[in-house]
Each structure stands twice: as C-alpha cells, then as structure tokens.
C-alpha cells in the first residue's frame, strides 16, 4: 500500500513515526530513511534505539538546502537524495523490512534533488517489496496522489512559529 | 502549549504517538490517555512498554459508541469520558508528566460524552501543569482552535477503506 502524508502542516513525519511505533508493536519491521534533514540526532533516533532492531532510522540527507547558511554544492544534495532512494531499494531487496518510510521525499522532489522519473521508478521497484511504503513531505504532486492508496493532507491551521515562538525541543525535532 | 490534531484524515493519533516518541527521546515524560477506544491492546501499547516508564498509555474508553454492536448505556460512555479527563488532571497534578496526550477527545465531545464546559475547564486546569497538551480527534470546534497554539487539520484526500480494503493491522490499530 502506498501511503502519502503531505501538506504544509505539522504532523507528517511524526505520523509516520507513530505508524512505525504501532507497526513494530504488531511485529513488523520498519526502516525509515530520511532525506534532506542533516545528520544531527533527534528525539526519535534516541527512542527508536530502545525499540530494538525492528525500527531503524537512517539519515541520508546533507541538511537544509539553500537555507540556514547551507554552502554545500547543489550536486552534493542531489547525489545524497539519489543515494537515499538507491539505498532504500537495496535494503528492501534484502527482504528484511515490512514497511519503508521515505521521509521528506516530496521536499527533495520539489527542491529538484530528485526527478519525477527517479521517484516513479523508485515506487515501481519498492512497492512489490514491502507491505507499506510511506512517503512524506510538502507538496506531493498530483500524479503521485493519484497513484497512492491512502493520502492525508496535513493542513496548517495555526502554527506558533508564525507568532514568534521558538522551536520547542521534543516537539519540533 | 496547546496542540490540536483534528480533521477527517488518517494521522491524528499516530502523529501524537510520533510526537511522544520524539519527546521521550529528548528526555520528556509523556502520558497518553485514550477516550472512546476500547481496552484492546494495540501496536502502540506493546511498543510503548519497550520505551520504559517515560511513555505511558492509559485506556479510559469503553469502545465505540452507538456503532459496531455497542450495547453499553450512553451514560456509561459519558461517565468513562469524564473519568478520563479527571484522571488526566490528577496525574498532571502529581507533577510527573511533561506532555499529556488526550486522544480522541474531540470525538468524545462530538458524541456528547463531554460538554464544552467539561473540556474548557479541563484545559484551564491542565495547561499550566504541563509543557504541551495534545488533543486529538475529528471535528474540533472553532472556539478550541482559537484557543490553541498549534493546529493541524488532517484532511482525507484518499482512503482505501472507501474502495473496499480491510483495516490493515499495524496501520490502523
């Protein structure tokens, strides 16, 4: 089943993580591959380790693209994104994982790090190899929504950053 | 901070659970109190136990209301919902929890299990006692959206149940 969490609101990645926690409790094995985000350790990294080998989070991003002082050549970001989907496919071929989460893939697509063809071929290859493929990120294009089985748009109704509150540890990262 | 996940789409409860996993990794203690849902053990119950005492899920619901063969008197459901918010407040008064998740509270409200006054008084009492209060469920009324700091509407774009696929263990429960 292809599951997509998209939209501009908070809750896409956390929903995928919550899904992972639920599935792991029911005996599934979940691999989460993060694109775009940098290698810093987040709360979910620390917690996932406590859940044992059934939930693995792998960071394949090189950090934010073109913002917050990013000086990395764009080609390096592109390479990292392409490696992330190749890695995911290789892992699925190993037959170990029931669920694959590809986090922030739509951001990577919209930033131009992955082409439509890259993503499309990835889905073709990945979907038969897992029970569920969960793809998150803002701005999922309509043709992938058409292809998905389950799609939720996380719509921002209100966000405190807009009123000047700083990112809260434990909530935003 | 008052955080609300509402809307008709999938991802409200899982997002709250993902939030819990993230926060627990950063050293917070999270209590999740479930309303409406019955006492059966879900995937997240099993996983949360592996995370140790920092993430506790407590079931205060009596199962689905008025559907799927529910024969329980309505007053019993009301009593259970009221006890859930009283219990939550008592737990917060103990000073142990940083984050409280009140799951399916808007469903309970819309079913008539809790009054506007019940919910409003609960928020008044709970908010000063925790860092974050997360309230999930369909159909959050506008006046609580006005009061919240962060609100995401999980909007259903596509759901396989509508096309006849059964609930998938690990994804829906």
Q: How many CB atoms within 10 Å of residue B136?
A: 28
How far is A75 from chain B, CA to nearest CA, in Å? 31
Q: How many CB atoms within 10 Å of residue A138?
A: 16
pLDDT (0 to 100) of residue B173: 66
Distance of CA A131 to the CA centre of its chain: 17
Q: How many Å apart are CA B27 and CA B8, to the nearest integer?
A: 32
CB contact under 8 A, A25 and B46: yes
Read off the pTM: 0.92
pLDDT band at B40 (very low <50, low <70, confident <90, very high): confident
Contacts of B47 in chain A (CB under 8 A): 21-22, 24-25, 51
Q: Which of A141-145, B40-44, B161-165 has maximum average pLDDT?
A: A141-145
pLDDT (0 to 100) of residue A32: 98
B28 touches chain A (CB under 8 A): yes
Report the mean per-residue pLDDT for chain B.
Answer: 92
What is the mean pLDDT of the segment spanning B123-140? Answer: 98
Check: CB of residue A36 under 8 Å from CB of residue A107. Answer: yes
How far is B89 from chain A, CA to nearest CA, in Å? 21
pLDDT (0 to 100) of residue A11: 96
Q: Read off the tokens for B1.
A: 């901070």
Q: How many Å apart are CA B22 and CA B37, to the nearest integer?
A: 24
User: Any residues with CB less than 8 A from the CB of B120 and at least 6 apart, and which?
Assistant: none
Contacts of B99 in chain A (CB under 8 A): 170
Cα angle B111, B56, B88; round to 5? 50
Cα angle B94, B62, B171; round to 5? 90
A2: closest chain B residue by CA: B160
Q: How many Å apart are CA B124 and CA A173, to the nearest integer?
A: 27
Residue with tokens 């199962």: B63
How far is B32 from chain A, CA to nearest CA, in Å? 13
Q: How many CB atoms within 10 Å of residue B69?
A: 7
* ipTM at complex level: 0.90
**Surface of A (68-127) touching B: CB under 8 A:** 98-99
Question: Which residue among A155, A157, A165 sits closest to B145, beta carbon to beta carbon?
Answer: A157
Q: How many Å apart are CA A19 and CA A111, to the nearest integer?
A: 26
Check: CB of residue A20 under 8 Å from CB of residue A30. Answer: yes
pLDDT (0 to 100) of residue A131: 97
CB contact under 8 A, A153 and B155: yes
CB contact under 8 A, B99 and A24: no
Question: Which residue among B18, B43, B48 sits closest to A14, beta carbon to beta carbon?
Answer: B18
A141 touches chain B (CB under 8 A): no
Cα angle A30, A35, A38; round to 5? 110
Residue with tokens 């390096």: A76
**Surface of A (31-70) touching B: CB under 8 A:** 42-48, 50-52
Share of chain A above pLDDT 70, in %: 93
**Full 3-state SS string of chain A:** CEEEEECCCCCHHHHHHHHHHHHHHCCCCEEEEECCCCCCCCHHHHHHHHCHHHEEEEECCCCCCCCCCCCCCHHHHHHHHHHHHHHHHHHHHCCCCCEEEEECHHHHHHCCCCCHHHHHHHHHHHHHHCCEEEEECCCCCHHHHHHCCEEEEEEEEECHHHHCCCCCCCCCC
Give every residue of chain A whose pLDDT is below 70, as ranges: 162-171, 173
Question: Which residue among B23, B46, B52 sits closest to A43, beta carbon to beta carbon?
Answer: B23
Return the residue in A131, A154, A164 with the most chain B beta carbons within 10 A, the one to mutate for interface testing. A154
Return the residue in B27, B47, B53 with the most chain A beta carbons within 10 A, the one to mutate for interface testing. B47
Q: Which of B33-37, B48-52, B55-59 has maximum average pLDDT?
A: B55-59
Share of chain B above pLDDT 90, in %: 80
pLDDT (0 to 100) of residue B163: 53
């Amino acid at each position: 089943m292809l599951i997509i969490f998209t939209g501009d609101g908070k809750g896409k990645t956390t929903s995928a993580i919550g899904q992972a926690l639920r599935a792991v409790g029911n005996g599934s094995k979940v691999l989460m591959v993060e694109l775009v985000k940098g290698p810093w350790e987040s709360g979910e990294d620390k917690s996932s380790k406590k859940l044992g080998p059934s939930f693995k989070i792998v960071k394949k991003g090189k950090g934010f693209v073109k913002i917050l002082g990013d000086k990395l050549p764009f080609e390096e970001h592109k390479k990292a994104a392409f490696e992330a989907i190749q890695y995911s496919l290789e892992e699925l071929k190993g037959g170990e994982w029931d669920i694959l989460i590809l986090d922030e893939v739509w951001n990577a697509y919209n930033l131009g790090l992955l082409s439509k063809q890259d993503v499309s071929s990835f889905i073709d290859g990945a979907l038969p190899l897992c029970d569920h493929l969960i793809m998150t990120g803002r701005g999922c294009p309509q043709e992938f929504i058409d292809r998905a089985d389950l799609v939720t748009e996380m719509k921002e109704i209100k966000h405190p950053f807009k009123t000047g509150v700083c990112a809260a540890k434990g909530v935003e990262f």
